[in-house]
Structure 1
Amino acid sequence: MTSTDVTKEAEDSGPGGYAAARLRLLTEGTRSGPPRRTALAELTDGWLAGLFDAGAAGLDGVALVAVGGYGRGELSPRSDLDLLLLHDGGDPRAVAALADRLWYPVWDLGLALDHSVRTPAEARRTAGEDLKVQLGLLDARHLAGDLELAARLRAAVLADWREQAPERLPELRELCAERAARQGELQFLLEPDLKEARGGLRDATALRAVAASWLADAPREGLADARRRLLDVRDALHLTTGRATDRLALQEQDQVAAELGLLDADTLLRQVYEAARVIAYASDVTWREVGRVLRSRAVRPRLRTLARERGDFLRRAVTGDGRAPGGGKPAAERSPLAEGVVEQDGEVVLARAARPERDPVLALRAAAAAAQGGLPLSPHAVRRLAATARPLPTPWPAEAREQLVTLLGSGRPTVEVWEALEAEGLITRLLPDWERVRCRPQRNAVHVWTVDRHLIETAVRAAAFTRRVSRPDLLLVAALLHDIGKGWPGDHSVAGEIIARDVAARIGFDHADVAVVATLVRHHLLLVETATRRDLDDPDTVRSVAEAVGTQGTLELLHALTEADALATGPAAWSSWRALLVADLVARVSAVLSGEAPADPEDAAPTAEQERLAIEAFRTGGPVLALRAQAESAAEETAGEPEPLGVELLIAVPEQPGVLPAVAGVLAVHRLTVRTAELRSLPLPDGVDGSVLLLDWRVAAEYGSLPQAARLRADLVRALDGTLDIAARLAERDAAYPRRRGVVAPPPRVTVAAAASRLATVIEVRAQDAPGLLFRIGRALEGAGVQVRSAHVSTLGANAVDAFYVTGAEGAPLPGKEAESVARSLEETLRA
């Protein structure tokens, strides 16, 4: 059945016929995308026209007009119907009766309706007062009634818009900016709002409004396809959820992907991101052009006044040196920036004599000049470079490599320039391996960017550290490539090492430099993972890092790359605490690389404070606590803003079963976050049986202030003697704060890190972070009959990544089979 047949059936059968025809249209498997939206709009047009004709018999000077998305014919399955009943000011009772005949059938079918009843004068006045109303009227479309009345309104609204554009376009731009700040960038969000986020359907509509003003126009390449793709995704979202929603929630992405015939949710997100990137870039270019046009219009009256006042100066508006009489630059002056590259009117453009077809380095030279000057690259220049530039030879000439390093080292302006190159496909032409990471989502709440944008953000962060290293060029290139392996299966660091080696050689680095870049990419997570998950007092820990890094120069570069990578990941990935741990590890590794042997922790004597607490615990027979603020450090500067480092919590208690889960449980009850935990047994004085267990923990308040040591001690005494039921207290709190519906965390995973230490067995736990997690782990390990020597706790977003150094009863590492059995038992406990 054709759309015309469906429309005719709906008109003949009234509301019931329309509902049935609508349902059949939405469930047809052969029709989707623009054809279905058009058919749905035509079906709705016919039904509403029938309602209008039946209700407006004998009534002149009225018209039914579709506005907004419905006016554009973009009806998704659950879209609102935006309608205006236009009248010439005739009988108000007859108009009101007609409105009732139109609105109530729509409501009866459960359709969302945005409606108004106005005269043309009222509509124009309301549009002048409310920008959103004016934008909706720009897409006004006649549905039924007086065609001339609707046409006059549309013509008047467009004329008003063009006349008021110099005042209204800045208002529209501000509206878009506020929405972007509120909703975020569509091209990076894991649960994006397809309509409201930056680069979404609202921005695409704003670009149509700018074009209607005749002041500027958006780059049209790919824009229509991007808009269509987002509309297709919204259609599928409406059909799978049965709701009028624009938010693409995680739990619905697989269904939406299946509805669209896509492989999986990642493929869906990548297509959404690509569309959003096109719209966002078009918005940036368009608003820049709007600003340029409005500035030039503001200058013209002043120039005319100057001409009248100076008379004959009008004939000499520009002097022989190319400057205006007043000393200012003429609007069209071109200032040289580099060979073949000039600045004109606030943009970087190609010089008239530039020949991209003869100069393969010109694209990188122009990009580097733009980033260095903090200027945008002209889209026309980029388009010309993409169309005519020669490919670079392999290996690249030295100038090309230097220009790439200059571009990467320019800081924040690099992002905008890189996006301009990507918009015309120049990045994948320069670096073919970039295609696999372009717009690739990262399903990890710690990451705030897609893979490709994260790589650029890391280079931006690394640019601030180039004064700290002897080879800033290697740092910047490694920053650009460190996650390049995420487009391939398996460990992205291993795959990335192979790709980075190839890319570094292709862009012209020598063999030794290629090896350094490959090492940095292979081990870009080594320092932070070791510092937060391994015992730095264990000599094997420091030796293994020193062997992997190899030289002091590589260690220096890896330290800077680690910090840049973490800062570019997101707020949860870096902190003053992590910076301190990494700096401590780097200092120890540097000492080993200089020929010093790492200290043996067994030889380390307890501090005076530790001895004092141990003696008091022996004397009193119970736990003794001390809270001490951790010293501030220059590492705060690397975290962006000051952050409290927490406190050191020292606990001494006569050795007995259940100490670890008891302490962890008490801290969880008091809402204290554990960052590290070290446990050490100190022998009692000669002649006294037993020992004192010393716990050295780093903790921070989840919120509020830290509890008093006396309260912690009292609860610890009760936890150790069994009068404080930690598990029940934590269960009560969990019940009071139910988890978010629809969020399914991946199951916990427990593994044994073979050969990580010769002094203990290292068990790694990866699980969803939750209050009391360390308590549950400690209780399970206690039940397995192992002793915990130290714990290294790290939380990344919603994920806990913890490492426990455990031994058997005699203080030796566990045999392989026993270690695996403990790991399996712990994993089963956490899954329960």
Structure 2
Amino acid sequence: MTTETHPADPGGPGGTDYAAARTRLLAEPGCTGAARRAALARLADGWLGGLYAEAGAPPGTALVAVGGYGRGELSPRSDLDVLLLHEGRIDSSLPERIWYPVWDGGAALDHAVRTPAEARAVAAADLKAQLGLLDARHLAGDPALTAALRSTVLADWRAGAAKRLPELQELCAERAERHGELSFLLEPDLKEAKGGLRDWTALNAIAATWLADAPRDGLDEAAARLADIRDALHLTTGRATERLGLHDQDQVAAQLGVLDADILLRQVYEAARTISYAGDVTWRAVGRVLAARGGRGRRVSRLAFPFTGVGRSAGAVARGAVDRRPLAEGVVEQDGEAVLAQSARPAQDPVLSLRAAAAAAQAGLTVGHATVRRLAAEARPLPVPWPDEAREQLVTLLGAGEACIPVWEAYEAEGLITRLLPDWERVRCRPQRNAVHRWTVDRHLVETAVKAAAMTRRVARPDLLLVAALLHDIGKGWPGDHSEAGEVIVRDVAVRMGFDKTDTDTLALLVRHHLTLVDTATRRDPDDPATVDLITKVVGTLPHLELLHALTEADATATGPAAWSSWRATLVDRLVDRAGAQLAGADPYPADGEPTAEQERLAVEAARTGVPALSLLAHAGQDAADETPEPMGVELTLAIPDQPGLLGTVAGVLALHRLTVRAAGLRELDPIGAGPVLLLSWTVAAEYGELPEAARLRADLRRALDGSLDVARKLAERDAAAPRRRGIPTPPPVVAVAPGTASSTATVLEIRAHDAPGLLHRIGRALDTAGVRVRTAHVSTLGADAVDAFYVTDTAGLPLAPDAALRVAAAVQESLG
């Protein structure tokens, strides 16, 4: 169809009455949800029917609603999808006599004018047009014409199912790739994402082929819930949008009478999972039917409704023996799925659910829908503590890696996961309002277990690694620190699972400290003895250290690309190596080495010339010119004759050149006895594009130091030109003095703020003004937030006095606004 707009004219024929009636309908407090959508459709029906009659449409014509309007469902901002159907020739002005009053009334119209033969031809060439016609509904004119079109389109759809359904599946997959999975998105598209309203429409189209039908339990209710949320979104924004943006969620929740935006998102996710899982099950059934029709599998009857039988498709009548391959005790493979053997007795075998899940995942299969339904209905609860086999089967399931996910989703859909792990209910479908996270809490836990499955050869106890990965965030949803809450929960869960005290203590340690390694590595100086002491006191043993190391990496890589990088991995590895050396009785603190030849050369050059000397060297001996903006960055070595304000000035010049500082160290040399030279060894990376030329960077440093380049003004101009964050408040920065145990040789300032150009420049200026020396700095960016730690001393190289440390922190806080 073709969508057109026309300047609104409230005085157009019939437009004022329709618009006023529609406004009154939307304002009725008791008319909501499906009832309101149906009422909006009836109101449009009457209006369009009147326009059709006023236009003087001759016999042999009909006005037909298609798509969502054809289903009798209109959201507040939905288009009116209409087809003017005619036999033979019609007056060319007839369509305009109908369409123009609609445009003048301010309604959005998606329209077409076709003969039945043309409509059929368009449907044959355009899958989306055919899907819209499947919902064709008569509005006005000759009802026989509409009925004939519906019959023809349905007959064509059923006859061409073997060709059309693969096209529809590809269309659904392309949408999912483009818009993501509705079940996990923080700003989801309610219509186009996987599990959205388009997928529900596709399932109804599959049912219309008579080849397969979706599991119907809760399906229409899930679609209705998404449609209600979409209606509230339209009313809240006043726009025909399908994307539930962060800035709209509180208002939409209020419109629906939902307590808060998190509960609203959870409702979206639950509905989306119902639709998504129904789609997965249905497409597998379609694949079996089409394979059988094509002679690539067991032949089945024309009607295949595969969701009511036990262990096999109730409507799939085999012509010959059924092929079954044993997978485990009571579990066999049939038609590409794991199902229960004929001798299986779920009511007498409490481990059967986990055994079936583990066997399916290890074989790269999912568990048949009917089997999952039967297990949910008949399986006995596991005794407490669990039998050893149950614990082993859970570990086997998790150890299957990616193959675990579809099995887990199938069990989740029928409530088997929360039956096995009651504490799972609090994290199920729980959103994470953090741009760093890709997944909901529950899916993140499963993804972490998947990542951990690839690391089981690195640890002596892979079972503890996998279980800890599955449960490390189980405390989210409880008050307080989720790591502390998780430690309490995991102790209870571990005992129920049958772990002994030693293993329970290990799991509790891993959950309590699953963030400790990465937080310490990115915010503390690994060369400070207090840093390594902290880790060794936490883990206690080398086996605990290796488990925590693997869990840290699994957690971070499952979180998203912003949470892990080569740079962070290097920092964590370095800290683990030093902690491991100390636990093994070796010296983790090698003595400070002499300056390298390159550092010595730069220091001598700076001392002789009185101007900055610098070099850019890539990691692993690469040439800096070949370095890409990969998270490892490059080493910037800068030698400058000592003078006030160096840190802020250098940080500002780097910001102007769009260089991100990841770590900074400072030492003082006097290479020729002419006075001190500061040697800054910083790890930097380009925000995007290529690294700047060293000569240009050196020139700008000289200009900044002699005052001819106003760094602060340049950064302010760039900041003023940057796009503003609209509708999303930015939390104020936090500057704190770390406990004295963080370092015995320096005072540690922790700074958390929204990342912005020149942030390090402002911090450096404040520290320079405060008269403190920065020994090292550890800079970390998580999503849009900077989390930095500065090791500072007084001019004598000693930690600051407590009151002085608080004054410096306050000064930095003030500089950040």
Secondary structure of the equivalent of 2:174? Answer: helix
Q: Residue 579 of structure 2: which of 557, 564, 589 is its match?
A: 589
Give the number of aligned pairs. Answer: 782
Matched, 1:434 2:424: yes
* Structure 2 residue 21 is the aligned partner of structure 1 residue 21: yes
The letter for the 1-side match of 2:556 is: A
User: SS at 1:186's partner residue?
Assistant: coil
- 1:710 CA displacement: 2.2
SS in 2 for 1:432: coil
* Shift in alpha-carbon separation, 1:303–1:353, aligned structure 2, 3 A: closer
For the pair 1:84 / 2:83, whether they are aligned, the reply is: yes
Asked whether the 8 Å contact 1:539–1:600 carries over to 2, the reply is: no
Which residue, out of 160, 164, 182, partners 1:164?
A: 160
* Structure 2 match to 1:494: 484
| Equivalent AA in structure 2 for residue 594 of structure 1 | A
AA partner of residue 811 (structure 1): G
The CA distance in 2 between the partners of 1:336 and 1:198, in whole Å, is 34
What is the rounded CA distance, in whole Å, between the counterparts of 2:296 and 2:259 in structure 1? 56
* Residue of structure 2 equivalent to 1:362: 352
Match of 1:483 among 459, 464, 473: 473
SS at match of 1:739: coil
1:253–1:303 CA distance, 2 compared to 1 (3 A): closer
2:436 pairs, out of 441, 446, 449, with 446
- Distance in 2 (CA, whole Å) between partners of 1:211 and 1:553 is 55
Greater mean deviation of Cα atoms: 388-397 or 708-717: 708-717
Matched-pair contact (CA < 8 Å) for 1:335–1:343: yes
Q: Give the Cα–Cα distance (whole angstroms) in 1 for the partners of residues 814 and 393 of structure 2.
A: 54
Tell me the amino acid that sits aligned with residue 61 of structure 1. G
Paired residue for 1:716, among 688, 697, 701? Answer: 701
Counterpart in the other structure of 1:418: 408
What residue is the counterpart of 1:699 in the other structure?
684
- Do the aligned partners of residues 810 and 410 (structure 1) sit closer, same or farther apart at CA in structure 2, a change above 3 Å counting? same
Q: Which among 655, 663, 667 is matched to residue 676 of structure 1?
A: 663
Deviation at 1:814, TM superposition (A): 2.1
Determine helix, strand or coil for the equivalent of 1:357.
Answer: helix
Which SS does the other structure have where 2:480 is aligned? coil
Report the alpha carbon displacement of residue 703 of structure 1 after superposing the two structures with TM: 2.4
Confirm whether residue 131 of structure 1 aligns to residue 146 of structure 2. Answer: no
Structure 1 residue aligned with 2:95, among 95, 99, 104?
99
Q: Distance in 2 between matches of 1:300 and 1:576?
A: 46
The aligned residue for residue 63 of structure 1 is 62
1:815 is aligned to 801
Work out the CA distance in 2 between the residues paired with 1:827 and 1:110: 53
Give the distance between the partners of 1:473 and 1:73, measured in 2 at CA: 54
> What is the identity, as a one-letter code, of the residue corresponding to 1:69?
G
- Work out whether 1:658 is the aligned partner of 2:645: yes
1:33 corresponds to = 33
Instruction: Tell me the residue number matched to 1:182.
Output: 178
Deviation at 1:50, TM superposition (A): 1.6
Normalised to the residue count of structure 2, the TM-score between the two structures is 0.93
Task: Give, in whole Å, the separation in 2 of the partners of 1:693 and 1:256.
Answer: 56
Q: Aligned equivalents of 2:298 and 2:290: distance in 1?
A: 14
- Cα distance, 1:407–1:632 mapped onto 2, change above 3 Å: farther
- Cα displacement (A) at 1:405: 0.1
Shift, 1:244, TM fit: 0.6
> Distance in 2 between the 1:209 and 1:500 partners?
45
Q: 2:327 matched to 1:337? A: yes
Q: Please identify, of 603-612 and 338-347, the stretch whose mean Cα deviation from structure 2 is larger.
A: 603-612
Instruction: Deviation per CA, 1:306-338: give whole Å up to 9, x if none.
Output: xxxxxxxxxxxxxxxxxxxxxxx9772111100
| Cα offsets for 1:77-115 (capped at 9, x unmatched) | 00000001111224x21xx33322221121112211100
Rounded to whole Å, the distance in 1 between the matches of 2:621 and 2:597 is 22
Q: CA deviation at 1:743?
A: 4.0
1:725 correspondence with 2:724: no
Q: Which residue, out of 519, 522, 527, partners 1:532?
A: 522
Q: 1:803 aligns with which of 786, 789, 793?
A: 789
**In the alignment, residue 166 of structure 1 is paired with which amino acid?**
A
Specify the alignment match of 2:609 in structure 1.
620
Q: 1:568 and 1:241, CA in 2 relative to 1: closer, same or farther beyond 3 A?
A: same
Asked whether the 8 Å contact 1:331–1:345 carries over to 2, the reply is no
* Residues 1:296 and 1:99: Cα distance change in structure 2 (over 3 Å): same
Structure 2: runs of 5 or more not aligned: 1-9, 301-318, 623-627
Query: Is residue 629–residue 689 contact of structure 2 (8 Å, CA) maintained in 1?
Result: no
Stretches of structure 1 lacking an aligned partner (at least 5 in a row): 1-9, 305-328, 634-640
Deviation of 1:509 after TM superposition, in Å, equals 0.8
Deviation at 1:733, TM superposition (A): 2.5
Give a deviation string over 1:539-594, Cα, whole Å, max 9, x none: 00010111011110000011111111111111111111111111111010001111
Structure 1 contact 632–645 (Cα < 8 Å) conserved = no
More displaced, 102-111 or 457-466?
102-111
Q: Deviations over 1:224-246 (max 9, x none)?
A: 11101110011000001001110
Distance in structure 1 (CA, Å) of the matches to 2:297 and 2:461: 53
Q: Using the alignment, how far apart are the partners of 1:724 and 1:642 within structure 2?
A: 26
Partner of 2:188: 192
Structure 1 residues 302 and 380 mapped into 2: Cα distance closer, same or farther (>3 Å)?
Answer: closer
Moved more, 643-652 or 401-410: 643-652
Q: How far apart, CA to CA, are the structure 1 residues paired with 2:451 and 2:176?
A: 23
Residue identity opposite 2:78 in structure 1: S
**CA shift for structure 1 position 348:** 0.4
1:715-766 CA distance string (max 9 Å, x none): 1111112111112222232344323544433222222211211111111111
Q: Which moved more, 1:583-592 or 1:747-756?
A: 747-756
- Displacement of 1:371 after TM fit? 0.4
| Cα deviation, residue 148, structure 1 | 1.2
Alignment of 1:118-267 (within 5 A): 118-267=114-263
The amino acid across from 2:698 in the alignment is R
Task: State the alpha-carbon separation in 1 of the partners of residues 95 and 261 from structure 2.
Answer: 44
Q: Which amino acid aligns with 1:734?
A: D
| 1:368/1:403 contact within 8 Å kept | yes
Higher mean C-alpha deviation, range 46-55 or range 474-483: 46-55
C-alpha deviation, 1:368, in angstroms: 0.2
Within the alignment, does 1:74 sit opposite 2:59 as a pair? no
Question: Structure 1 residue 709: deviation in Å?
Answer: 2.1
Q: Distance in 1 between matches of 2:621 and 2:435?
A: 28
Over 3 Å counting, the alpha-carbon distance change for 1:330 and 1:750 in structure 2 is farther
CA distance in structure 2 between the aligned counterparts of 1:201 and 1:501, rounded to whole angstroms: 41
68-77 or 710-719, which deviates more: 710-719
Specify the SS of the correspondent of 2:446.
Answer: helix
SS at match of 1:524: coil
Preserved CA contact (<8 Å) 2:15 2:106: no
* Residue 543 (structure 2) pairs with residue 543 (structure 1): no
Tell me the C-alpha RMSD between the 2 structures: 2.1
Q: Contact 1:538–1:600 (CA<8 Å) still a contact in 2?
A: no
- Report the 3-state secondary structure (helix = DSSP H, G, I; strand = E; otherwise coil) of the residue aligned with 1:631: helix
Confirm or deny: 8 A CA contact 1:631 1:645 kept in the other structure: no
Aligned partner of residue 643 in structure 2, secondary structure: coil
How far apart are residue 684 of structure 1 and its match? Answer: 6.1
Deviation at residue 303 of structure 1 after TM alignment = 8.8
Would you say the 8 A contact 2:735–2:751 is kept in 1?
yes
How far residue 695 of structure 1 moved from its aligned partner, in angstroms, is 0.8
Query: Is the CA contact (8 Å cut-off) linking 2:600 and 2:671 kept in structure 1?
Result: no
Deviates more, 1:331-340 or 1:362-371: 331-340
Greater displacement, 231-240 / 81-90:
81-90
Q: Quick one: structure 1 residues 396 and 153, their matched pair in 2 at CA, closer, same or farther if it must change by over 3 Å?
A: same
* Identity %, equivalent residues: 70
Contact 2:483–2:511, Cα closer than 8 Å, also in 1 = yes
- The structure 2 residue matched to 1:275, chosen from 271, 274, 277, is 271
Residue number in structure 1 paired with 2:307: none
The alignment partner of 1:568 has SS state of helix
Distance 2:258 2:298 in 1: 57
**What does residue 4 of structure 1 align with?**
none
The DSSP-based 3-state class of the residue aligned with 1:656 is coil
Residue in structure 1 matching 2:739, options 734, 754, 759: 754
**Counterpart in the other structure of 1:5:** none
C-alpha distance in structure 1 between counterparts of 2:538 and 2:487, whole Å: 13
